[in-house]
Amino acid sequence: MGSIYLTNKKNVWCPGCGNFAILNALIKALERLNLKPESVVLVSGIGCHGRINQYVNVNSIHVIHGRVLPVATGIKISNNRLTVIGHAGDGDAYAIGLGHLPHAARRNVDLTYIIHNNMIFGLTTGQVTPTTPKGMRTRSTPYGNIENPLNPLLLALVSGATFVARGFAGDIKHLIYLFEEGIKHKGFAFIDVLQPCVTFYNTYSYFRERVYRLEETDYDYTSFKKAIAKATEWGERIPIGIFYKIRRETFEEQLFQLKDKPLVQQEIRINLEKVYKILS
């Protein structure tokens, strides 16, 4: 049986790609939240993940490399009644687009930011990204990557994100839960998804042997200190789940221009006489 959120566009991702889990989890989350397709906007960047907006039957825009967050922020400010969901790859989000993350987080823009983190540039056939493990050989690092990988969760936490989570494409039920909670969250929801690339960096077995759900422990996601500690846990055991979640006034709630109704519904009056006087 089909879903009102799915298009009939042919999917061209590699068989087994972790993007399928993210797509299916997103569809299930939208269904559970019973959101009207016309009330949702997807913003995707450049990379294999970027095709996701072709497969989801909602409003969407495909932006240039690294610019998911500024476009998503502009959409949310223009019409704060929309549910805005950004999708980016680890190269898209943590390389060229990294400068936008701290600002969206500290402003607490009310949107959900989902990163398809496969730790490799899949679209361009396997080059190193900011999350590629040190020592890994790729097409751009034939003698091994000499750089330490970036920790996305730590960056989001110290930047002021009010919802920080990590998922795994091999655990779709848990991913549905994270997406649902992230979309419901009032504020900036950051979700990094460990998304194996079966063609250039297949990490399914590696993560299946190591990941565990924070929700199945006595972990308290309201504690910033505990979130920092968990975000640094990586090795034989890798936590997934909600690391941090608090309520703080959103960017849109602080804009007096949006108190009555969205900007798109407001009448804009221009006094041409004053405009001509200024121009002269």
Give dist(CA 211, CA 199) in Å, integer.
22
CB-based contacts of 112: which residues, under 8 Å, 6+ apart?
A: 83, 84, 85, 86, 179, 182, 183, 185, 189, 191
Write the CATH number for 225.
3.40.50.970
Task: Give domain status of residue 223, yes or no.
Answer: yes
CA-based end-to-end distance of the chain: 63
Mean pLDDT of 113-120: 97
Mean pLDDT of 88-93: 95
Task: Give domain status of residue 13, yes or no.
Answer: no
Task: Give domain status of residue 173, yes or no.
Answer: yes
Task: Give domain status of residue 220, yes or no.
Answer: yes
Task: Give domain status of residue 261, yes or no.
Answer: yes
Give dist(CA 190, CA 278) in Å, integer.
43
Domain limits for position 233? 19-279
What are 223-259's pLDDT values in tens digits? 999 999 999 999 999 999 999 999 999 999 999 999 9
Task: Give domain status of residue 6, yes or no.
Answer: no
The whole model's pTM is what? 0.94
As for how many domains the chain has, the answer is: 1
Model confidence at 270, pLDDT cuts 50, 70, 90, reads confident
DSSP letters along the chain, please? ---TTB--PPP-SPTT-THHHHHHHHHHHHHHHT--GGGEEEEE-SSGGGGHHHHB-SEEEEPSTT-HHHHHHHHHHH-TTSEEEEEEEHHIIIIITGGGHHHHHHHT-S-EEEEEE-SSBTTTTSB--TTSPTT---SS-TT---SPPP-HHHHHHHHT-SEEEEEETT-HHHHHHHHHHHHHSSS-EEEEEE--BTTTB--HHHHHTTEEEGGGTT--TT-HHHHHHHHT--SS-EEEEEEEE-----TGGG-GGGSSS-GGGSPP---HHHHHHHH-
Task: Give domain status of residue 4, yes or no.
Answer: no
What are 29-43's pLDDT values in tens digits? 999 999 999 999 999
Mean pLDDT of 44-50: 94
Which of the residue ranges 14-18, 77-81, 266-270 would you say has the lowest mean pLDDT? 266-270
Would the pLDDT of 78 be above 70?
yes
Task: Give domain status of residue 179, yes or no.
Answer: yes
